[in-house]
Amino acid sequence: METDGLGIGESAEVLGVHPFTLLARAQMDELALVRDNAGEMRVPQEELIRLGEGHTGNHTTTESQRVPTDQELGVTRGLFRKGQRTYHVPGYTKSLSAAEIVAYRKAYAAIGGELELLTDLRQQLRNPNRVTPVGETFVEVPHEGRWNVRGTLLNLGRSDILLCERGDELAVIEKFQPNSTYARTRGTAEILLTGRDAQQLVREFKENAQLTLEFMASNLTAKAQRIIWNEQQAEHPAHVVAAISERCRNAVQETETQTQRQTAARGIRI
């Protein structure tokens, strides 16, 4: 049975937010997601309407993406096998056949943009010098009032995640672009975490953010897998799935076992 709704990337485009924002809300139990037949997470239509104040009902998507060049993908040529050229891709020790590399290219074209976003966020988390400070000195949170901005934790492009303070209170707050559909419905800022110890609060945010990145990587693997298994020419689709899975895993450099254990511990609702 096919599942209604849009994929995470498409839903983020509709709402004017980063995919990170939607998956973080799923972790916070504020967004109910469903899986399609391939295991990819999707945002049900009713959730899109709730978050977008009814502005998303007629949205349509296309699956056309530019296929990256082999140089962009890091693909190199290997030896001939059974009279055919073989290929090597980053992070995967086995070689792929000519038919398999076609499937790999198509799958990567579908997830490459989001995978680059994921890699950028991982680098920001590991190196705060890559984070650009926001210019604002305060942020207004609907129904919560004004908070003073103490620092910037993450740049998402369509929002920024800030460390804020008010008296002896501290909060991690996500500030959105005011013209986004999400901000018009939910407000221009939302509190993600609160506390009174800055180091502990930042550490908790980074742990949660790392889990979100792993969630993103797992979802991109499922998205690519659907495309790979539909590519009939691939002799061994499982090889291509393994290669893409390894590339997504390496983007966050965490094992699947760790991801599953942390996800279960935090009780993500699907």
Question: Could you state, in order of their start, the residue ranges of all structural domains in the chain?
Answer: 1-128+207-270, 129-206
Tokens of 108: 């990567």
How far apart are alpha carbons 245 and 154 in whole angstroms?
26
Question: What are φ and ψ of residue 189, in 5° steps?
Answer: -155, 145
Whose structure tokens read 């501290």?
170
Q: What is the pLDDT of residue 81?
A: 84
| Amino acid occupying residue 100 | E
DSSP secondary structure string, 92-110? --S-B-HHHHHHHHHHHHH
- How far, in Å, CA of 28 to CA of 164, rounded? 19
Question: Cα–Cα distance between 163 and 177 in angstroms, integer?
Answer: 17
- Tokens representing 105? 């290219």
Residue type, 164: C
pLDDT at 126: 93
Place 55 in a pLDDT band, splitting at 50, 70 and 90. low
CB neighbours of 251 closer than 8 A, spacing ≥ 6?
Answer: 115, 118, 119, 122, 213, 217
Tell me what pLDDT residue 70 has.
Answer: 87
Half-sphere exposure of 191 (CA within 13 A, CB side): 19
Q: In this predicted structure, what is the pLDDT of residue 56?
A: 52
Positions of E strands within 98-178: 138-141, 145-155, 159-166, 169-176
pLDDT at residue number 234: 56
Please give the single-letter amino acid code of residue 201.
Answer: L
pTM of the prediction?
A: 0.82
How many helical (H) and strand (E) elements, i.e. helices and strands, does the chain have? 9, 10
Whether residue 62 has pLDDT greater than 70? no
Cβ neighbours of residue 79 closer than 8 Å, sequence gap 6 or more: 86, 95
Backbone angles phi, psi at 116, to 5 degrees: -65, -40
pLDDT confidence band for 60 (50 / 70 / 90): very low
pLDDT at residue number 54: 62
Question: What pLDDT score does 58 carry?
Answer: 47
Tokens 């009939």 locate to 232
Assign 20 a pLDDT band (cuts: 50, 70, 90). very high
159 pLDDT band, cuts 50/70/90, is: very high
Residue type present at position 146: R
Give residue-wise pLDDT tens across range 169-225: 999 999 999 999 999 999 999 999 999 999 999 999 999 999 999 999 999 999 998
Specify the pLDDT at position 232: 59
Taking only Cα atoms into account, the Rg of the chain, rounded to an integer number of angstroms, comes to 20
Mean pLDDT throughout 137-157? 96
* pLDDT, position 259: 41
Rounded CA-CA distance 90/136 in Å is: 41
CB 146 within 8 A of CB 138: yes
pLDDT at 241 over 50: yes
Judged against a pLDDT cut of 60, whether residue 64 lies above it is answered with no
Asked if the model's pLDDT at residue 38 lies above 90, the reply is no
- pLDDT greater than 50 at residue 15: yes
Q: What is the overall mean pLDDT for the chain? A: 86
> In this predicted model, what pLDDT tens digit does every residue of 99-132 receive, in sequence order?
889 889 999 999 988 999 999 999 999 999 999 9
pLDDT at 73: 86
Say which range, 11-20, 79-88, 232-241, has the weakest mean pLDDT.
Answer: 232-241
More confident site: 62 or 122:
122
